[in-house]
Structure 1
């Protein structure tokens, strides 16, 4: 039987196999192009003045370290023009910038207007800016448990916190703003009659916001995952996003909380382990490093140590 006859007889099978090969190759191509999970990182940038004179440094640092999102503290000392220049440069580098703000008192009724004023400013800023200059979202860092009255008035403060969060979310949704919140990992231990029977504040926060950045501050991958797992599982069910936050800043809470004392190589190894543990959760958005300033300082310390080591070698007989 010649080749032409074979082709006629098995043409259908050949076409199926060829189509399957094309699909397989296309799938492989997509996988190769897709960024790996460890590259999805965020960082909190607190000193807003840095965007006025260090925009390129920040963007280069972000690109080198796989940062895709910057939570940028909004300060009155920085002009709108400076924010526009920074956000435009970040957008060009494929970085998202979220406007960050918050104070513990913002959870309370008498201070709620301050948070609304912040949302109004972001809305006005975005309306007056070109698409590439606009904030991709907002993040609230409101921690009323830091107030002295938390210990004696927790129920009342939780109720006000929930009221405030509802208003923030409604305003953000009305203004078509993505909204997230930085939250501690232990909110599952807080219950309130307003939450309903069998529900805790962690579940409520995950359900309410578009995403949460959980402050899972521990200095080992397994410990970070352990305190994050409940929030990740809740977000999996609700199709929400979770940034898992790690601490590099010096902590006053005792040992086991921050990576501050660890060298950069150890931090990187632990973050890689963390990603392998957390990556199975569909809600996992990435690792959020607190903060840009501490992360940069740790990297600069490593570079300085290498330079000093090289100088010592050069000076040796």
Structure 2
């Protein structure tokens, strides 16, 4: 029992006999007991997720590695994060990345180069070339303890208006971008991972270059692994995390690829079930533990990614 509960029980036994106070005391004791029992459960859930599988988060505001480096590293270490998807900002000095990655590796956190915007698939867009040139140059200059450990793309072509009006062409450009990035990743000896929405397994393409199948299967085949944006705060039912990720986990196993399941902590007002923003970290860990227990023996399942660092920090314990 919590010390506070013992103190109140002691006061109660010493003679505070009013029915009103008795009722209050009983309620307080019950709440205290619930809290005392829940805390070990929370700690157990947290420990069970800290395995040799991926436990990642995203950092989009790259300038924070300069202004808030110590806070970031302390947070990652306290949460058991072992992988950080760090967006590339070429305006930040390479020496800042080098020092940050070196310090991150000291606490067991590998850093992946994160980038891409939907308009990167537009013809003649300079983004892909600039990203690849920057990363190739960085890896060449960095020491082994300062290098990125992977490439992580978050393209989201379906956010473009042309997704509906010129769909076949947009899908072709999306596939071209992933193919070209995979060739580049092979050249600089880094694995390539890509984010996909859970509904890509129900979205089929058909073209002369790549044949016909679901987009989820195509992305899995042409990368080293995916992060599937499950974006639910519950596990069960046909709309829960387990049902929405099942086909990708099965197909990745067949292809000997890896699947990380990503969840959201940013605020999404119009659909609260998409995010943990209004829940607690205890709720999030408990949900992820259920997913982990379900998939743990699946060879393709490779852990979790929490989107994203800044919003995760806002969750209460």
Q: TM-score range by the shorter chain?
A: 0.7 to 0.9
Structure-1 residue corresponding to 2:261: 244
Is the Cα–Cα contact under 8 Å of residues 101 and 141 in structure 1 kept in the other structure? yes
Q: Give the one of 162, 185, 190 matched to 1:149.
A: 162
- Offset, 1:38: 4.2
**Aligned to 1:193, what secondary structure does the other structure show?**
strand
CA–CA separation in structure 1 for the residues paired with 2:129 and 2:152: 13
Residue 274 of structure 2 is aligned to residue 261 of structure 1: no
Structure-1 residue corresponding to 2:144: 131
Is the Cα–Cα contact under 8 Å of residues 272 and 278 in structure 2 kept in the other structure? no
Is the Cα–Cα contact under 8 Å of residues 38 and 272 in structure 1 kept in the other structure? no
Structure-1 residue corresponding to 2:211: 196
Q: Give the one of 70, 81, 105 matched to 2:119.
A: 105
Q: Deviations over 1:22-59 (max 9, x none)?
A: xxxxxxxxxxxxx9554441000111111113222222
Paired residues for 1:145-224 under 5 Å = 145-194=158-207, 195-197=210-212, 199-222=213-236, 223-224=240-241
Is the Cα–Cα contact under 8 Å of residues 86 and 114 in structure 2 kept in the other structure? yes
**Aligned to 1:217, what secondary structure does the other structure show?**
coil
Is the Cα–Cα contact under 8 Å of residues 108 and 161 in structure 1 kept in the other structure? no
Gaps of 5+ in 1: 1-34, 303-317
Q: Deviations over 1:193-218 (max 9, x none)?
A: 23434x21110000101111111101
CA–CA separation in structure 1 for the residues paired with 2:298 and 2:74: 29
CA–CA separation in structure 1 for the residues paired with 2:191 and 2:97: 18
TM-score w.r.t. the length of structure 1 is 0.79
CA–CA separation in structure 2 for the residues paired with 1:184 and 1:265: 25
**Number of aligned residues:** 264
* Coordinate RMSD, CA, aligned: 1.6
User: Which one has the bigger helix percentage?
Assistant: 1
Compare 58-67 and 137-146 and name the one that shifted more.
58-67
Gaps of 5+ in 2: 1-46
Is the Cα–Cα contact under 8 Å of residues 116 and 168 in structure 1 kept in the other structure? no
In 2 relative to 1, CA 122–192 (structure 1 residues): closer, same or farther, beyond 3 Å?
Answer: same
Is the Cα–Cα contact under 8 Å of residues 85 and 114 in structure 2 kept in the other structure? yes
Q: Deviations over 1:45-99 (max 9, x none)?
A: 1111111132222222112212110000112342211111100001111211001
